Amino acid sequence: MDISFVIPVYNEHELVVTAVESLLQQCYQGGTIEIVVVNDGSTDGTREALDSLLAANDSNKSAKHTLRIFHLEENKGRAHARYFGAKQATHHAIVLFDSRLFAKPDFLNSLVADFPIVMVGNVEQQKPSWIGTTLELLRRQTFSVYYKASASSEPYYHITAENFDSSPKGTTCLFFTDKNTFLHASDKMDIDDKHVSEDIRLLRILVEDGKSIVKNRNSTVYYAQRTSIGENFIHLYERGPRFVEYYHEHHPLYRCLMYVGLLLAAAFLLTALIHPGSLFFIITLLSLVLVIVLIADRVSTSPLERVQVTCMLPLIVIAFGLGVCKGLAIHWRKQAG
């Protein structure tokens, strides 16, 4: 089976080079590999880095795989860039591949299975960080049912409409035997809206159309976690509107929690500004500290992890919470107009 990798990238010139180079080294036994990279209007030198990589691959007579680069003049968002890349792909089978990933040479052989849609089973941090570890621990707690089941020897886990909400999922690395399945599902959402939760919404459309998404636990990719506080803050903030875009519509419980959290945050900030020494403010502050400590104790498995979660959780809550506020504002503006 011939396969095209589709990699959208925006302002990640060093990481995308690492991602592409790892794919150029794939020892795939089942056919030929094409790598399609879509530069989504980057302004940081990504264009030059990709052009250099393309020139080097074209001049390499022993190159095993084809590399194609497309430059979009304007940033359209990941959903649009992926769609564009899939349209340009030569082969019917495609792999959506994140620009922050790294794969070992035998990766593709382990990923491809006899299913129409296959999701990579393991995404590991290349260089573990405190905030990356905290997010992974929270993820494992949220989807504890899946992770308990993953201890079994069964290599394949099927994500369906019935277990969709209780299963960890994403489009970091996703294989389609027929790219038209991806294109038809993408046609059902607004890929030009940068605030659309394109990963969860895409997967939801697929399972609602009766497609089974299989997590292949035999496959592993490595993710370059953001390391600086600023990078992680911006990333979490940008995830907030996408979270609202999907979960406000599909989850009454999450929708309720959004508004309750918004009201509590507003009351806390108002009290902090007007009566910072009031009993209400002190009790609320101590309660927040207690909740953070309890969450850290719940999700952690070692003293070091408890320290990491306790330190990083406030940053995560603030950044993501501000993003949720932005998402709610976008939602209300759409409703009004």
Q: What is the pLDDT of residue 309?
A: 95
Q: Are 331 and 258 in contact (CB under 8 A)?
A: no
Give the pLDDT confidence of 174-192 residue by residue, as tens digits. 999 999 999 999 999 999 9
Task: State the first-to-last Cα distance of the chain, in angstroms, to the nearest integer.
Answer: 48
The answer to whether 212 and 115 are in contact (CB under 8 A) is: yes
284 CB neighbour count, 10 Å cutoff = 16
Q: In the listed set 175, 206, 223, which residue is the last one of a domain according to the structure? A: 223
Q: Are 174 and 221 in contact (CB under 8 A)?
A: no
The whole-angstrom separation of Cα 81 and Cα 40 is 6
Helices (H) and strands (E) in the chain, counts: 12, 9
Verify that 145 and 169 share a domain, yes or no: yes
Average pLDDT for 202-226: 92
pLDDT of 61 > 90? The answer is no
- Measuring CA to CA, which residue among 229, 27, 225 is closest to residue 123? 225
Of the pLDDT bands very low, low, confident and very high (cuts 50, 70, 90), residue 104 is very high
One domain for residues 121 and 45 = yes
What is the 3-state composition of the chain as percent helix, strand, coil, each rounded to the nearest 5? 55, 15, 30
Among 166, 201, 223, which residue terminates a domain?
223
CA distance 233 to 211: 35
pTM across the whole model: 0.90
Same domain assignment for residues 287 and 166? no
Q: Give the length of the chain.
A: 337
Does 247 lie in the same domain as 210?
no
pLDDT of residue 49: 95
Question: With the CA atoms of 237, 240, 241 and 245 taken in that order, what torsion angle do they form, in degrees rounded to the nearest 10?
Answer: 170
Is the pLDDT at 226 greater than 80? The verdict is yes
Q: What is the mean pLDDT of residues 321-335?
A: 93
Same domain? 247 vs 157: no
194 and 267 belong to one structural domain: no
Distance CA 224, CA 33 (A): 23
Where is the domain boundary, 203, 223, 243? 223
* pLDDT confidence band for 101 (50 / 70 / 90): very high
CATH number at 130 reads: 3.90.550.10
Report the distance separating Cα 8 and Cα 36, nearest Å.
9
Share of the chain above pLDDT 70, in %: 99
* Confidence grade of residue 151 (pLDDT, cut at 50, 70, 90): low
Q: Is 194 helix (H, G, I), strand (E, B) or coil?
A: coil
Tell me which residue of 107, 94, 102 sits closest to 68, measured CA to CA.
Answer: 94
| 238 lies in the same domain as 140 | no
Mean pLDDT along residues 7-25: 94
pLDDT at 260: 92
Find the largest Cα–Cα distance for the chain.
74
Amino acid at position 166, single letter: S
In degrees, rounded to 5, the angle at the alpha carbon of residue 264 between the alpha carbons of residues 263 and 266 is 65
Note the pLDDT of residue 214.
94
Which pair of structure tokens corresponds to residue 17?
């080079």
- Distance CA(234)–CA(211), nearest Å, equals 34
User: On the CB side of 222, how many CA atoms lie within 13 Å of its CA?
Assistant: 13
d(CA 311, CA 282): 20
pLDDT at position 152 is 64
For residue 36, what pLDDT is reported? 98
Q: 232-259 pLDDT, tens per residue?
A: 999 999 999 999 998 998 889 989 999 9
Q: At what angle do helices 229-250 and 303-336 cross, to 10 degrees?
A: 50
Q: What is the mean pLDDT of the chain?
A: 91
- Residue 145 confidence (pLDDT): 81
Least confident of 141-150, 221-230, 327-336: 141-150
Instruction: Give me the number of domains the chain comprises.
Output: 2
- 253 and 219 in a single domain? The answer is no
Residue 319 has pLDDT above 90, yes or no: yes
Residues 212 and 237 in one domain: no
Check residue 9 and give left, alpha or beta (phi > 0: left; psi -120 to 50: alpha). beta
The predicted model gives 107-136 an average pLDDT of: 90
Whether 186 and 242 map to the same domain: the answer is no
Q: Which residues of 8-23 are buried (b: 16+ CB within 10 A; e: fewer)?
A: bbbbbbebbbbbbebb
List, for residues 264-282, the tens digit of each pLDDT value.
888 888 888 888 878 878 8
Stretch among 63-67, 292-296, 298-302 having the lowest mean pLDDT: 63-67
Are 168 and 251 in the same domain? no
β-partners of residue 173 are 97
Query: Whole domain around residue 70: which residue ranges?
Result: 3-223
- pLDDT band at residue 154 under the 50/70/90 scheme: confident
Same domain, 35 and 165: yes
